[in-house]
């Protein structure tokens, strides 16, 4: 009974459009975490052959991503969300991206992590602004996960003190692809949330 009461406080009544956006947030975050699992899994495979010093950090990040993926999957049913329809793009694209960047060497690995985590961090900020007065439970979930994703970003950037033109181009390209996948997976709601955050009075 007390759990139901807490849930009613955390889950505010939503307009149909807002409820759909919340469902899409859970869906795209679950897909993104699954894509990250695939990226790190491929990078760990290649690192086992060539870059064993990268394995501890990658394994630690992979553990985080698996936990995040499970958390977002558990949050789906109560928000009428289903796994993303373009899940195969996240899966195969993530694995190929992880494999290719790991083949470029240590800096390729960390450039990939930095690009993906920077894009994810930006979108999580948009989501948090949207959820702050709509779904307190999901807001808290994303806040806790955001801290670990930010730690991944900081670690990756520490490994890239002076990236060259190729790595800068790689980061930009990965960021653009990540943004595009998020946009497709949310049916454009990611743009709406970003606009709302930019328009927020300061």
Q: Rounded to the nearest 5°, which phi and psi values hold at 135?
A: -145, 90
pTM for this predicted structure? 0.88
The reported pLDDT for the residue numbered 50 is: 97
**How high is the mean pLDDT in each 10-residue block of the chain (202 residues)?**
42 83 93 96 98 97 97 96 87 95 95 94 92 94 95 93 80 90 78 72 55
CB-based contacts of 170: which residues, under 8 Å, 6+ apart?
Answer: 101, 104, 108, 111, 112, 115
Measured over the CA atoms of residue 98, residue 126, residue 166 and residue 58, the dihedral's sign is negative
Estimate to the nearest angstrom the gap between the alpha carbon of 167 and the chain centroid.
21
Q: Look at residue 46 in the predicted model and tell me its pLDDT.
A: 98
**Cβ(120)–Cβ(4) below 8 Å:** no
| Cα–Cα distance list, 55 to 45, 52, 102, 144 (Å) | 9, 5, 11, 24
pLDDT at 1: 34
Extract the tokens encoding 158.
């520490």
- The per-residue pLDDT for 3 is 39
Instruction: Give the model's pLDDT for residue 161.
Output: 78
CB 26 within 8 A of CB 11: no
Choosing among 1.20.120, 3.30.70, 1.20.1260, 1.10.3470, the CATH entry for 15-197 is 1.20.1260
């Amino acid at each position: 009974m007390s759990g139901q009461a807490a849930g009613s406080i955390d889950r505010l009544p939503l307009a149909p459009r807002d409820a759909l956006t919340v469902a899409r947030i859970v869906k795209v975050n679950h897909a993104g975490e699954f894509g990250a699992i695939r990226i790190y899994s491929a990078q760990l495979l290649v690192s086992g052959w060539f870059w064993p010093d990268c394995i501890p950090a990658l394994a630690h990040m992979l553990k985080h991503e698996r936990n995040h993926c499970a958390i977002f999957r558990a949050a789906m049913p109560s928000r009428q969300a289903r796994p993303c329809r373009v899940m195969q793009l996240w899966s195969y694209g993530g694995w190929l991206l992880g494999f290719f960047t790991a083949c470029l060497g240590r800096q390729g690995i960390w450039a990939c992590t930095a690009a993906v985590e920077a894009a994810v961090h930006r979108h999580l900020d948009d989501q948090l602004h949207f959820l702050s007065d709509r779904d307190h439970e999901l807001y808290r979930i994303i806040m806790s996960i955001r801290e670990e994703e930010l730690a991944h970003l900081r670690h990756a950037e520490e490994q890239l003190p002076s990236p060259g033109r190729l790595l800068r181009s790689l980061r930009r390209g990965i960021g653009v692809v990540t943004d595009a996948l998020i946009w497709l997976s949310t049916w454009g709601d990611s743009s709406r949330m970003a606009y709302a955050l930019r328009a927020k009075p300061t």
